[in-house]
Structure 1
Amino acid sequence: MGPNDERFLRWLREDIGSALRGVLSYHGREFEVYYLRADLKGDDAWRSNVRADLPDLVEIARGEHAASDLVLFGDFAGTVRVFSNAVLVQFPVSENAGYGVSLDTDVTPRLVGFMNTAAAHLEQERA
């Protein structure tokens, strides 16, 4: 994990607090889990499911980078998937790299503000 990753993770933990479930980065087909909340880390069944599903989630995220070509709505900041138990947010930072962030569903009312602030934070890191 590089300094930019550390700063982004620190910012996420401060902004989202205990609702932050997990954070990973991906580059090409490779990915690295940077953070997993303690209660999830201790759940063997959940961890097993995550290990099985993460490669597919990363592949889906990589495919969504094509959305950045849609200029009708402005700059592409990321993708949000809302599930009954979690919200998954994907932030692309280059052609084939980005972050996946998992949040508790109680952050959903703040989601648009969170997305805008996180995208600005990442843009600042790239500058």
Structure 2
Amino acid sequence: MLDNKVLDSKERAIQCAALALDKKALDVKIFEISRHSTIADYLVLATGRSDKQTQAIADSVRQGLKKFGKALDIEGMQEGRWIIIDYGDVILHVFQEEVRRHYNLDEMWSACPLVEIPEEYLWEDKER
């Protein structure tokens, strides 16, 4: 992980993804939404299989990014079905599988470019 105390928005998005993947998040994607929306520069989507896993993913991101600044807002942590962490320039959504399918943000933001997640953080294809 990065040791410097300042992250640009792309680095913050990649760190969100890396920390989520460290907790075995599924189908992690980073959308660069800055040309399509003013809500943030990047949107990170991740899936957990249970409320406990989504909570662990969100907590891992929150703890891991704490040294770079506090989240502006966190919603849904209690229930663990759809957790949103807003860093201003990056918004992380951690869903349970059926919630992600239902709201389908992947399709909604599909016109936006995807940011490649560095290979060192990926785990899904390595375990097959």
Q: TM-score, structure 2 length as denominator?
A: 0.31
More helix by share: 1
Highest CA radius of gyration, 1 or 2?
Answer: 1
Specify which structure has the higher proportion of strand.
1
